Structure 1
Amino acid sequence: MTESIRTVVVDDHAIFRSGLKADLDGRIEVVGEAATVEEAIEVIHAVRPDVVLLDVHLPGGRGGGGAEVVAGCAPLLAETRFLALSVSDSAEDVVTVIRAGARGYVTKAISGAEISDAVARVAGGDAAFSPRLAGFVLDAFGTAAVASVDDELDKLSARELEVMRLIARGYSYKEVAKELFISIKTVETHVSAVLRKLQLSSRHELTRWAVDRRIL
């Protein structure tokens, strides 16, 4: 039997969360819920779901809504995928949450079956967008942006790129050393080189840089 897709639902309206859970099909297992930015980050870190169905506008935090939740879960982006679900179809909202690291964006006007399919696509590594919203993303992340990221990554050696990805995912220096079979001192040397080449000043900035470019 196919394993269910472990999902957290984040929305500040309890009635909507209840209705959404009832509409999702048998592939989806809701393992957590949250109504605010802080609750969402806490629950997601606690249960490590496959997918987070995330409202874009949420109370709490520093006012960043769904994008702030994604940023607060940056170390988990390799294993947990975010699908924005909102009444808003504005280009600004779409681009902001995708830039933060979400893998798709669907509006609340679609059916439960369509949302379930979108969750499954995102869980499988694909992107999922309601009609016309993908155009906003293509406009915002065009070929020039991709070329710019490629130019920046070309500055890094293969080993530096490996170290950068692991550090951005939240690994400690010790964990990176163990993963790559190198010394902690070598990890420190590589991190210093990465920060210098990318003109960053801290691990936090490195994580933000990687999340912004969706290269975790």
Structure 2
Amino acid sequence: MAESPLRVVIVDDHPVFRAGLRAELDDTIAVVGEAADVGAAVAVIAETRPDVVLLDVHLPGGAGATVPEGSTGGAEVLKRAAHLVPGTRFLALSVSDQAEDVVGVIRAGARGYLTKGSAGIDVVKAVHAVAGGDAVFSPRLAGFVLDAFGAAAGETAAVPDELDRLSAREQEVMRYIARGYAYKEVAAELFISVKTVETHVSAVLRKLQLSSRHELTAWASARRLL
């Protein structure tokens, strides 16, 4: 029996972008609602209770929903809607690649952040990953989050014994994966096959007693390994 498609809401104030994104999503994802501003977004999210919300960072407030000074529309949606739908995950999808936007929306509760230049297949993969509890970032943006949350964690020093469990190649792979690189991108960077990357990742997670890429990112960030 086939699995039910993931239920997604798209929040973006550009209708052409919403239509284009809708067209690029495959049949494993069902778009159950759309919104163009903060007020409409909170309403449709509360009504449809989707698995994942694809959320632009900069949004107008809309009727009865002003955006406080210093806040982005996306962060405001998270503040107002997340407690209404505790099972819903939020994935930021924005043209902005500014550190303050990335860190701000992640602090507000988003599970990942992709730039709008991301390919449709990458968005689909990210939606599934976020729905499954992982954190996903465009590779060049992951460093902003790691820097911000590593500092907040008190810059915990790496424990030599933990790193000694990993081979030199496993440590290389670990750093790329923790930064948000896809397996294919890691393979290209290290001139190895995707299958080899998968093998190394499995070994890293097993040796460090971690269960997901999200936990690996948190582990590496806390130890200032990136």
Q: Same fold (TM over 0.5)?
A: yes
Tell me how far 1:96 sits from its aligned partner. Answer: 0.5
User: Are the aligned partners of 2:82 and 2:88 in contact in 1 as well (CA < 8 Å)?
Assistant: no
Residue of structure 1 in register with 2:146 after alignment: 138
- Report the Cα distance in structure 2 between the residues aligned to 1:89 and 1:146, rounded to whole angstroms: 23
CA distance in 1, matches of 2:36, 2:123: 19
Secondary structure of the residue aligned to 1:33 is strand
Q: Which residue number corresponds to residue 24 of structure 1?
A: 25
**Structure whose residues are more often helix by fraction:** 1
Unaligned runs of 5+ in 2: 156-226
Q: For this pair of structures, how many residues does the alignment match? A: 147
Is 1:129 aligned with 2:133?
no
Equivalent residues in 2 for 1:57-68, closer than 5 Å: 57-60=58-61, 61-63=65-67, 64-68=72-76
1:89-131 Cα offsets, whole Å, 9 max, x none, are 0000000000000000000001111101000100010011001
Query: 1:145 offset after TM fit, Å?
Result: 2.4
Higher relative contact order (CA 8 A, sep 6+): 1
Moved over 3 A (4+): none
Residue 108 of structure 2, aligned match among 95, 100, 103:
100
CA RMSD across the alignment: 1.4
- What is the rounded CA distance, in whole Å, between the counterparts of 2:154 and 2:43 in structure 1? 36
Identity of matched residues, % = 65
Ranges in structure 1 where 5+ consecutive residues have no aligned partner: 149-216
Q: 1:77 to 1:46 in 2, by over 3 A?
A: closer
- 1:141, 1:28 → 2: CA distance? 31
Matches within 5 A, 1:10-159: 10-60=11-61, 61-63=65-67, 64-76=72-84, 78-142=86-150, 144-146=151-153
Q: Secondary structure at the match of 1:106?
A: strand
**Equivalent pair of 1:77/1:101 in contact (CA under 8 Å):** no
- Whole-Å Cα distance in 2 between the matches of residues 49 and 19 of structure 1? 20
Could you tell me the TM-score, scaled by structure 1's length?
A: 0.65
Give the distance between the partners of 2:12 and 2:120, measured in 1 at CA. Answer: 16
| SS at structure 2 position matched to 1:82 | strand
